[in-house]
Amino acid sequence: MITMAERQGLILVNTGNGKGKTTAALGMGMRAWGQGFKVLVLQFIKGNWKYGELQAAERMGPDFVIRQMGEGFVKNCSEDEKIQHQNAAAEALQAAGCEMTSGNWDMIILDEINYAIKFGIVSLDAVLELIKIKPSSLHLVLTGRDVRPEIIEIADLVTEMKEIKHPYKKGIKAQKGIEF
């Protein structure tokens, strides 16, 4: 059994245009939780929506926490809305930095942070600076489409989800228990 002192925290990235980036990260978080790890999920885009994973996390107790810190979807927002998104993302980045160095967590998932970089609500430089302060034993997971090459370079594991087929293209709406 690896002790906390021996554990080498990894930087893991789930990206790509396919479904399942957050779901895979949550699955990894659940696996870690099952091994006695404390897991924190900070959601940079999602906010004020009742996803099934929120209810599951509540049942898992204080060692698996999801915080929705975003203002919702960013694409095609007005300049005023973008400022609200940027303010929320700045707060999420600050929370991430505090939580990463708190020693309270074994794994932190920064959900949709790559998407936040893509749409300019957080800067790449701010995220790279955040990654630099990661304690050596902490596992850090970043999700979202269009991961930047600079993040790929420093990551230990990068997985690309590739869409082959999606029911939305046949006009099937998002399904409870599948998409949310």
Backbone torsions φ then ψ of 71, nearest 5 degrees: -110, 15
- pLDDT given at position 1: 61
- pLDDT given at position 179: 81
Give the Cα-Cα-Cα angle 53, 16, 74 (nearest 5 degrees): 65
- pLDDT given at position 49: 67
Can you count the helices (H) and strands (E) in the chain?
6, 6
Contacts (Cβ under 8 Å, ≥6 apart) of 104:
38, 40
Residues facing residue 140 across a β-bridge: 11, 108
Q: What is the pLDDT of residues 41-92, one digit of tens each?
A: 999 987 766 778 888 999 999 999 999 998 777 777 787 888 888 999 999 9
Q: What is the pLDDT of residues 146-170, one digit of tens each?
A: 999 999 999 999 999 999 998 888 8
Please tell me the distance from the alpha carbon of residue 4 to that of residue 13, in angstroms, as a whole number.
22
Mean per-residue pLDDT, 22-27: 96
CB 174 within 8 A of CB 168: yes
Please tell me the distance from the alpha carbon of residue 148 to that of residue 124, in angstroms, as a whole number.
8
Token digits of residue 13 = 């990235």
| pLDDT, averaged across the chain | 92
The CATH class given to the 11-134+146-170 domain equals alpha beta
Q: Output the CA torsion 146→69→71→26 (10° steps).
A: 50
pLDDT surpasses 90 at 174: no
SS3 for 82-134, per residue?
A: HHHHHHHHHHHHHHHHHHHHHCCCCEEEEECHHHHHHCCCCCHHHHHHHHHCC
